Amino acid sequence: MKKEYIFRGYGRAFALTSGILFFSGLWGISEAGIGGALYSVNIRYASVPLTVIGFVILTFARVYFPQKGTAILIAALAMLYKFLNSPFFACHLLGILIMGVCYDVVFGIFKDKNRSLCAVAATYLNYVLFALMITYVFRYEHWVQAGFIKVIEHIAIAGTMAAVGSAVFVPLSFRFAQQLKAKFAMPFRLQFQIAAGSVSVVTTALWVFGIAMYFFS
């Protein structure tokens, strides 16, 4: 009985670790790839689609791993991919980490009672905290020079657009992820199954690609 309990605990730990690596790699690649492309051509309000994509990925992760702190761990690993971008913006690291914190806090408190409202609350909290911290705590030069007007624009305009997008796509992602989980209950387990094997291969590929790009870029 004790041996069986140990193996079950190890299996859950392996599944959680695999899931965190998978979703953080997926989010990181989207930030480095899509984010890098948007910022390289100076797309205005580039943070809007990146925020929605990030929250969608965290929503899939929450369906499979509802444990507290999971979103923060995923964000902490995902932000490593931002080192692949050239030029590198240190403020993006803070943005990704705050997204994970806000998602964990809001959805942890309200327990998915109203996913659209939770998505809106998490989005606005994310934009408010980031704008205030990057300007008045870390005093990032670009934000300090722009002043309070940039803070308001970031929250009121970009934040509102991201909130609308999150309010639509986060609930849809919840439903789709639940349907996916019903078919593939735990594709992150250490088992020789097609689903589990595919996830492991994709996870490995994401991180091998990220590490290779970092050293060769």
Mean pLDDT for 34-61 is 93
Instruction: Compute the Cα dihedral for 192, 195, 197, 199 and give only its sign.
Output: negative
- Return d(Cα 24, Cα 113) in angstroms, integer: 25
Question: Is 109 in contact with 128 (CB distance < 8 Å)?
Answer: no
Rounded mean pLDDT of the chain? 83
Which region among 146-150, 158-162, 206-210 has the lowest average model confidence (pLDDT)? 206-210
Token reading at 77:
């690993």
Kindly report the pTM of this predicted structure: 0.84
Residue that is written with structure tokens 């078919």 in the block: 183
Question: Looking at 8-12, 41-45, 56-60, 165-169, which range is the least confident one?
Answer: 8-12
Of the candidates 91, 98, 52, the one whose C-alpha atom is nearest the C-alpha of residue 75 is 98
What would the two tokens of residue 108 be? 């942890």
Note down the domain range covering 163: 2-216
pLDDT (0 to 100) of residue 90:
76
- Mean pLDDT along residues 60-80: 92
Question: Which candidate, 173, 174, 198, places its Cα nearest to that of 187?
Answer: 198
Check if the beta carbon of residue 64 is closer than 8 Å to that of residue 188: yes
- What total of structural domains would you count in the chain? 1
- For 57-66, what is each residue's pLDDT tens digit? 999 999 999 8
How far is Cα 185 from Cα 115, in angstroms, rounded to an integer? Answer: 22
Which is more confident, 52 or 89?
52
Hunting for tokens 């704008």 — which residue is that?
131
Q: How far apart are CA 168 and CA 12, in angstroms?
A: 32
Cα separation of 90 and 82, whole Å? 8
Task: Return the structure tokens found at 193.
Answer: 């199954």
Other CB atoms within a 10 A radius of the CB of residue 45 amount to 16
Q: At residue 197, does pLDDT exceed 60?
A: no
The whole-angstrom separation of Cα 7 and Cα 138 is 45
Q: How confident is the model at residue 107 (pLDDT cuts 50, 70, 90)?
A: very high
Selection from 1, 3, 4, 60 nearest residue 27 by Cα: 60
Q: Is the pLDDT of residue 213 over 80?
A: no
Model confidence over 5-31: pLDDT tens digits? 443 544 576 677 888 888 998 999 888
Residue 172 host element (H or E) = helix 159-183
Mean pLDDT (whole number) for 185-204? 56
Whole-angstrom distance, CA of residue 103 vs CA of residue 76? 13
